[in-house]
Structure 1
Amino acid sequence: MTSPDPTPRPQSLMLSFFGIHVLGQEIALSSGCVIDVFGRIGVTEEAVRSTLTRMVNRGLLERHRQGRKMYFALTKRAAAVLQDGRDRIWSTGAVNRDWDGQWTLVGFSLPEAWRRERHDLRSRLTWGGFGPLQSGLWIAPGVVDVTALLEDLSLAAHLRVFRGTVLEPTEVAQVVESAFDTKAIAADYHAFLDRWSEPDAGGPDPLGGQLLLHTDWLELVRRDPHLPAEHLPADWPAIRAEERFHALAQRCAAAARAEAQRVLDAIPAR
């Protein structure tokens, strides 16, 4: 099978790569070995170096020099982001079978001139699984830590946060239909199934294939608001897509781990 097309953005690949090979290990990887692995999936050396620099500037990676080599380690901020991604993949999962009927709601009213702040808020709410129920009111299934999600935006004075359940005459199906584009979410899962339809996922290189697979899946589940399964179609494609991901991830894990031990150049992170 050919690798998925198009190739994910270099920063998404970089976060996934460090999440697989660095998270929780207190190590730093050399730029040279990162360039080698990314070259296997068609990312140029220039793109890798540029991405590493941008991620340092954004506070996601930190540099460690040893001799003539430059190594990169995760910052605490990046580790928290990647741990969230790992939890979404392996703990939370793509299918919400344990919903307790609770919703988290965020109401907001920002000055008309605050276009950037409004964009940042909406982007962050979408990241947190929220959908727009009506003007200025967003909703997400389950309990969401809104403080942790939005605290660095400095918009607390303009927010109103609630938690509650749907009551008659409103129906949960109406809320789901109004706030979330379930057809688009389903289409994303069908596209994943199409991209990863063959057993030799990602091509002949296990390390590059693993990186593409994990990045593709993580981007997909992060866009998914984790809607309650009981209010979705019985053939919801996330079920099959998650099974496909787990099967492929398990299939390539041993070979990818062996190749990583062979090619990755790591030092302890100070």
Structure 2
Amino acid sequence: MLTLFGRYLLGREVAVSAASVIEVFGRVGVGEHAARSTLTRMVNRGLLVRQRHGRTMYFGLTERSERILRDGEDRVWKAGAVNRDWDGIWTLLGFSLPESWQKQRHELRSQLTWAGFGPLFNGLWVAPGATAVDEIVGSLGLESHVRAFHASTVPGTDVDQMIRETWDLDAIAAPYHAFVERWRDTETELEDGTDPLVVKLVIDSDWLRVIRDDPRLPVEHLPADWPAADAEALFLRVDRRVDQEAARIAERLLDVRPLIAALND
């Protein structure tokens, strides 16, 4: 759902009718009930707003979902899956939370994992690059319990070993291998009546799931056969093949109206 909204509504200040969303998802094989339930859940989670025009319900993006989608755009189209430009800087983040704060600890660790951090030691996490942490910490209200630094390793530190001990490289690589296995034959099948919009939505969603848990570790410290580059090249080739025709289909199917920002239900 976020892929659909992000690709065809982000930045347009419009809302889309539930009926047209359901029609698009029907092409992907998702039933009406599941599509409607997803729209409702996303409203309840603050990811979509609702507005009614006559008897028709329309849905638009919120500030929160726009931030999520912009971050996804940056990861896919700007940062990429392979970190070739690492400058040797690490971000260290230490935290100390009361034992009773199990929920806050879980939320912080989840946010840190999303941001590319790994657990260097108990209560001390590390990420490659100068990663901004103020939004993560501020959103959880943990400013007084967290300290963060930008640092570099001293000579003699075995960075390769540190990475292997901090991150599960096999677990990070596995989704890339699975992505290639799933999509490698798609290029030869696109001419056989494949729906370009379906391919666009599914492959973009698949790719974002692959890279969202990848901390983008510096490539010079990864195994020589690291699969991210080949998987990314495959994604880009397939996406470009279907992009223009998918956009034309979406323009025809999606019923949009200007988004009334003041309405949230």
TM range (shorter): over 0.9
> Post-superposition shift, 1:169?
3.0
> Post-superposition shift, 1:86?
0.6
Deviations 1:106-139 (A, max 9, x none): 1111111211111111100000000011111110
Identity %: 54
- Map residues 182-201 of structure 1 onto 2, 5 A cutoff: 182-198=169-185, 199=187, 200=189
| Runs of 4+ with >6 A deviation | none
1:210 maps to a residue whose letter is: K
- Map residues 141-180 of structure 1 onto 2, 5 A cutoff: 141-180=128-167
Q: Kindly tell me the number of residue pairs found equivalent between the two proteins.
A: 257
Deviations 1:138-193 (A, max 9, x none): 10000111001231111111111111011133221122111111111111100100
Cα root mean square deviation, aligned: 1.4
Partner Cα distance (2:55, 2:66) in 1 = 26
Gaps of at least 5 residues in structure 2 are: 261-265
Answer whether contact 2:10 2:66 (CA < 8 A) is retained.
Answer: yes
Deviations 1:217-258 (A, max 9, x none): 011111100100111122211000000000000001121011
- Map residues 116-127 of structure 1 onto 2, 5 A cutoff: 116-127=103-114
Confirm whether residue 232 of structure 1 aligns to residue 222 of structure 2.
yes
Answer whether contact 1:107 1:159 (CA < 8 A) is retained.
Answer: yes
Partner Cα distance (2:156, 2:88) in 1 = 16
Partner of 1:99: 86
3-state secondary structure, aligned to 1:163: strand
Answer whether contact 1:56 1:63 (CA < 8 A) is retained.
Answer: yes
Q: TM-score, normalized by length of structure 2? A: 0.94
Gaps of at least 5 residues in structure 1 are: 1-13
Partner Cα distance (1:73, 1:240) in 2 = 35
Partner Cα distance (1:144, 1:79) in 2 = 20
Partner Cα distance (1:180, 1:204) in 2 = 38
Partner of 1:252: 242
Deviations 1:37-57 (A, max 9, x none): 112222221111111111112
Change (3 A) 1:203 1:184: farther
